[in-house]
Amino acid sequence: MNQIITLLSDWRLRDPYVAMLKGELCQAQPDAQIIDITHYVDKFNLPQTALLMKTSYQSFPEGTVHLLLTNMSLNSTFTPVLLQHNGHWFIGEDNGIFFLMFGQEAALKGYQLADNQGNTLSQMLQLIRLIADDQLSGNTTEYLNFKRMFTETAEHSAENQQIEGTIIYIDAFSNAITDIPVAMFEKAVGNREFTATIQSNGMWTITAHSDYYHGRRDVPLQQRPWFYRNHWLSVGCVYFGRFGAG
């Protein structure tokens, strides 16, 4: 099977940088299949990057290489880290992104080039070639000291009968995904009606909210109602549905 490489960044598509990166990848791995996850992460937003990658990567076959490009450029000079997790490869800067994605699930074990000469892009390309040729052993060193990064977490006040959380991501259809854990939401709300209030610089009102649904893994995807709702819940978030400016 040809190598699959995914790209996730905050680069946007107005400039030629994504195309330039793809050109470098095509030269380094001519048979690779390059897939864009998104290039519209909010600028420098690592928690959002972690959410989108953690949500997306399992849709790809094992062995896929995922490039985490948020907060880097084609001229970056940091030494990239290669992480293997659940049969997938992730390459990026150890700026806390790896811990945000998987650090609370398992101990992280990564790799860096033993001879880490050249800029970040050239090192990334070399790591991709080593993965494809199964030659990581002897050409990389172990990397274990991952940077720990924590974000503000949702809080439940039983006394005030409320949960306070943060919207991590709003998709193109104005669906708001929060950092409220499913278990917290289940315990606090159960089957009771609830009101979601959004605090921001503007006035917002909920125009629709989803029925709470925790997807079952034994149900085929085609038979799961609101597949994307279930997909977000699978990474521990509560989905509140569409909202718009009031």
Check whether residue 137 and residue 163 sit in a common domain: no
**Residue 108: both structure tokens together:** 């992280």
User: Each residue of 90-135: pLDDT tens digit?
Assistant: 999 999 999 999 987 778 999 999 998 899 999 999 999 999 999 9
Check whether residue 232 and residue 180 sit in a common domain: yes
Confidence of residue 170 (pLDDT cuts 50, 70, 90): confident
- Alpha carbon 44 to its chain centroid, in Å, reads 13
Q: Token match 């937003």: residue? A: 45
DSSP 123: H
Q: Which of 52-61, 66-75, 113-122, 199-208 has the lowest mean pLDDT?
A: 199-208
The last residue of a domain, from among 90, 115, 143: 143
Pairing verdict, β 81-85 and 88-92: antiparallel
pTM score, whole prediction:
0.79
Distance (Å, rounded) from C-alpha 100 to C-alpha 148?
8
Residue at 194 is within a domain: yes
pLDDT of residue 51 exceeding 70: yes
> Which residues 6+ apart lie within 8 Å of 16 measured at CB?
none
**Residues spanned by the domain of 36:** 4-143
The last residue of a domain, from among 119, 143, 167: 143
Check whether residue 123 and residue 219 sit in a common domain: no
Q: Token match 């995807």: residue? A: 221
Check whether residue 131 and residue 170 sit in a common domain: no
Check whether residue 14 and residue 97 sit in a common domain: yes
Phi, psi of 239 (to 5 degrees): -105, 125
Residue at 34 is within a domain: yes
Check whether residue 16 and residue 76 sit in a common domain: yes
User: Each residue of 179-192: pLDDT tens digit?
Assistant: 787 788 888 887 77
Can you give the pLDDT at residue 201? 63
Check whether residue 39 and residue 161 sit in a common domain: no
Distance (Å, rounded) from C-alpha 98 to C-alpha 240?
27
Q: Containing H/E element for 127?
A: helix 120-132
Provide the domain count of the chain.
Answer: 2
Check whether residue 162 and residue 219 sit in a common domain: yes
Whichever domain contains 138, its CATH number is 3.40.50.10790
User: Each residue of 31-46: pLDDT tens digit?
Assistant: 999 999 999 999 999 9
Check whether residue 181 and residue 128 sit in a common domain: no
Residue at 125 is within a domain: yes
Residue at 148 is within a domain: no
Can you give the pLDDT at residue 151? 72
Residue at 150 is within a domain: no
Higher pLDDT, 157 or 140: 140
